[in-house]
Amino acid sequence: MKKAATKSINPCDIRAVANFYAAQLQLCCPHSPTSYPHARRVHAHMTTSGFKPRGHILNRLIDVYCKSSHLVLAHQLFDKIPQPDIVARTTMLAAYSASRKPDMALEIFNTTPLRIRDTVFYNAMITTHCHNDDGHAAIELFRGMRREGFPPDNFTFTSVLSASALVADRETHCQQLHCAVVKSGTGLVTSVVNALLSVYVKCASSPLVSSSSLMGVARKLFDEMPVRDELTWTTIITGYVRNGDLDTARQVFEGMEEKLVFAWNAMISGYVHNGFVSEALEMFRRMNLLGIKLDEFTYTSILSACASAGLFLFGKQVHAYILRMEDKLSWDFSLSVDNALITLYWKCGKVDEARMIFNNMPVRDLVSWNAILSMYVSAGRMNEARSFFIEMPERNLLTWTVIISGMAQNGLGEEGLKLFNQMKLEGLKPCDYAFAGAISSCAVLAALEHGRQLHAQLVRLGFDSSLSAGNALITMYARCGVVEAAHCLFLTMPFMDSVSWNAMIAALGQHGHGAQALELFEQMLEEEILPDRITFLTILSACSHAGLVNRGRSYFDAMYRLYGIRPDEDHYARLIDLLCRAGKFSEAEDVIQRLPFEPGVQIWEALLGGCRIHGNVDLGVQSAERLLELRPQHDGTYILLSNMYADVGRWDDMAKVRKLMRDRGVKKEPGCSWVEVENKVHVFLVDDTAHPEVQAVYNYLEELGIKMRELGYVPDNKYALHDVGSDKKQHGLSTHSEKLAVVFGLLKLPRGATVRVFKNLRICGDCHNAFKFMSKVVERDIVVRDGKRFHHFRNGECSCGNYW
């Protein structure tokens, strides 16, 4: 039947029919929603009428199918062509490139004979490599096409220049390509110079080169351009913005005769990213006054400005304005703006509102999901974060990074490391941020060997200059007890920020090197690194650990006066801790009286801790009572209070506290200590009998005890008595977990190696005393990290100076 139909059309008519079909397909605009159904109808008509499309009609049909995302259909058609021409091949290849299927594009490329290839075809393949972030492949292909004698054109140069921006040695490639551009005669084509500008600008913002000279090259190109388009302006403006030179960016911007929305957006986002929120808002107001039509980029940038500056009310006004004109906006618009709105709400602490926006979004993308995940993580709502993560329809590197570092931040190191491994199993290559999350997990677990291995991997992968990983490593080494390694790393880091300084100051403070910590802080100020609220938390702790009361007090005063940072509850708590440890109770009470807020858990904990050290029972009882009201289920308060009564022999009161604890069903967190030996973590509990080699430990402990007593060690049974729930106390036989772990380390670790032990709770007084003697007897360093700080025992002394 079909044959009959074909036969009935004579050659003249076939040409007329072909023209008809071509005209019909011409009606299909590339991205209109009606183009695909129309093309299908035309296609069906051809099939039923027996017309066999060839040449440009076929190519056009393939093109429409590709552009309307019907790649399978397009490819079926393509496969039916006996010898597809270069136009059909380029169309198919570019379609695969645009839909991020580089393997399919490469297959078409490789099966296309050299003799029919042309420059356009190579250009399309170079672009495919760019979209696949494979700069080297793109550059290699560019070289190949020149070897084969295909002349590069302006399209070739724009693509290969953007490829060179992707590679590490981009500056070299860029300069070579610049020469090739000049030789090819495309050196005055606007699009080519734009691409050149773009690479120079990117090279300049790389931290490894001196930016000023490269921005100079870019500026010269810009000044000498015969024709500039809007892209030119945006590129040069963002160039200055990325290099932090907002004044020059502004000058260039003001020099534009007709300021297009692109350029406004570049300025606004530049101000936002560099922290100049009021300038960004000023730009926004000016745009409104001039009646410039705002687009989704303007709104997202301005919402992000509000989010980072905490300008909730202004942001809400923008939100209301957007809602009023919502019906005029497209879906795509609403997606990115909704994402920015989520960020606005959660950064301003409105977690549930942010979740509502997410729930009501008609379309969501990964950015939306990742934003909510980050929100739960930073709010410490890890159960919600965990289930949200599982629910996610897709994940990318960022998703994994957020959840891994979130686990670490919330003390869930084991889960963090598990997720890091799972991520690798799923075939994702961790970036430096993901490594930072895994390293922080090691810091939480005090898993030194594991952390060292991650450090080694990091160096092998070339991430050793990474800021985030470096900062995480400082903290990891410090928290694993190797403060020297942390310091060494800090001194050799190629780039640093305030986080790096904070981490190192905190490391020195935790290890009892208070004076050094303060020295480093002064150096930080000299280098004009602005301290933040975390910096002050760490120096107040450092002062507290080292007993530097006066300096701590004066830093506290300087915080707001000199740096405009209002002290929060945690700053006040550290101040009170500092004062109480030094026995200055009336001053501490005075501070509490004049607090600008209701004292919370942290304040009373600090006070109680100080009272315990100095045996100030009355004040201690008062603060414990407040704590028991605020947090009745927390075990720590009961333990501290009962220990305090025991210290002064008030056994009845002690018994009452224990009864109260039992009545309320509060369980004491069992004390445990652990030590890493040959990459394996050995955990000990009080009076441990479970560890397979525990008998050897008890034997060696006895042996050491004899030598220690010869040097003057007197066991203090008072502390053993305090162990709630331990029935061996009357005999004074109880052996704390930290003693077992230290002795196991002494037995198992190589001769002379430092023993590093970690304990979940605070170290006990008798153990502290015992380790001093032990370090002298065995002539080895012993490091113990307890819940609060580090103790370095060496030659009979502890780094804390008994001040803890």
Partner DNA sequence: GTAGGGTTAG
Span 723-742, contacts to DNA by CB under 7 A: none
Task: Please report how close the Cβ of residue 335 comes to DNA at its closest, in angstroms.
Answer: 7
Alpha helices in 678-736 (DSSP H): 694-710, 717-721
Size of the site for DNA (CB under 7 A): 71
Cα 558 to Cα 560: distance, rounded to the nearest angstrom:
6
Segment 26 to 85, residues that bind DNA, using CB under 7 A = 59, 63
Closest CA to 62 of 411, 86, 49, 51: 86
**CA 387 to centroid of chain Cα atoms:** 20
Identify residues 162-191 at the interface with DNA (CB under 7 A): 162, 190-191
By CB under 7 A, tell whether 525 contacts DNA: no
Which of 25, 105, 277, 335 binds DNA (CB under 7 A)? It is 335
| DSSP state string for 4-67 | HHHHHS-HHHHHHHHHHHHHHHHT--TT-TTHHHHHHHHHHHHHHHT----HHHHHHHHHHHHH
Considering only residues 13, 118, 522, 693, which one is a binding residue for DNA as defined by CB under 7 A? 118
For the chain, what percentages of helix, strand and coil (3-state, to nearest 5) are there?
A: 70, 5, 30
Pick 287 or 542: Cβ nearer DNA: 287
Span interacting with DNA, options 18-26, 125-133, 630-638, 707-715, rule CB under 7 A: 125-133
From 215-223, 336-344, 722-730, 739-747, span contacting DNA (CB under 7 A): 336-344
> Judged by CB under 7 A, does residue 127 bind DNA?
yes
Q: Which stretch binds DNA (CB under 7 A): 154-162, 277-285, 381-389, 641-649?
A: 154-162
To which residue do tokens 């986002």 refer? Answer: 269
Stretch that binds DNA, among 353-361, 370-378, 658-666, 713-721 (CB under 7 A): 370-378
Q: Which of residues 641-670 bind DNA (CB under 7 A)?
A: none
List the one residue from 234, 500, 637, 735 that touches DNA (CB under 7 A): 234
Which of 194, 205, 441, 734 contacts DNA by CB under 7 A?
194
Closest distance to DNA from the beta carbon of 500 (Å) = 16
Coil/strand/helix, residue 349:
coil
Taking residues 537 to 576 in sequence order and writing x for each that binds DNA by CB under 7 A, - otherwise, the string is ----------------------------------------
| Nearest-angstrom CA–CA distance, 254 and 631 | 59
Contact residue for DNA among 121, 314, 389, 585 (CB under 7 A) = 121
Neighbours of 620 (CB within 10 A): 25
Interacting residue with DNA among 245, 296, 415, 688 (CB under 7 A):
296
The 8 Å CB, 24+ separation contacts for 335-340 are 335/361, 335/363, 335/364, 335/365, 335/368, 336/296, 336/297, 336/300, 336/367, 337/296, 337/299, 337/300, 337/303, 338/368, 339/300, 339/365, 339/367, 339/368, 339/371, 340/299, 340/300, 340/303, 340/304, 340/307
What minimum distance in Å lies between the beta carbon of 182 and DNA? 17
| Binds DNA (CB under 7 A): choice among 90, 132, 471, 510 | 90
- H-helix or E-strand spanning residue 684: strand 680-685
Q: Which is nearer to DNA, 221 or 266 (CB)?
A: 266
Single out the residue of 212, 208, 164 nearest to residue 464, CA to CA.
208
Say how far apart CA 357 and CA 375 lie, in whole Å: 13
Least distance from DNA to the Cβ atom of residue 86, Å: 4
The span from the CA of 102 to the CA of 110, in Å, is 12
Does 230 participate in binding DNA (rule CB under 7 A)?
yes
Least distance in angstroms from the C-beta of 334 to DNA: 10
Residues 737 to 776: which contact DNA by CB under 7 A? none
Residues 251-270 that bind DNA (CB under 7 A): 260-262, 265-266, 269
- Is 405 a binding residue for DNA by CB under 7 A? The answer is yes
Helix (H, G, I), strand (E, B) or coil at 680: strand
The nearer residue to DNA, 272 or 474, going by C-beta atoms, is 272
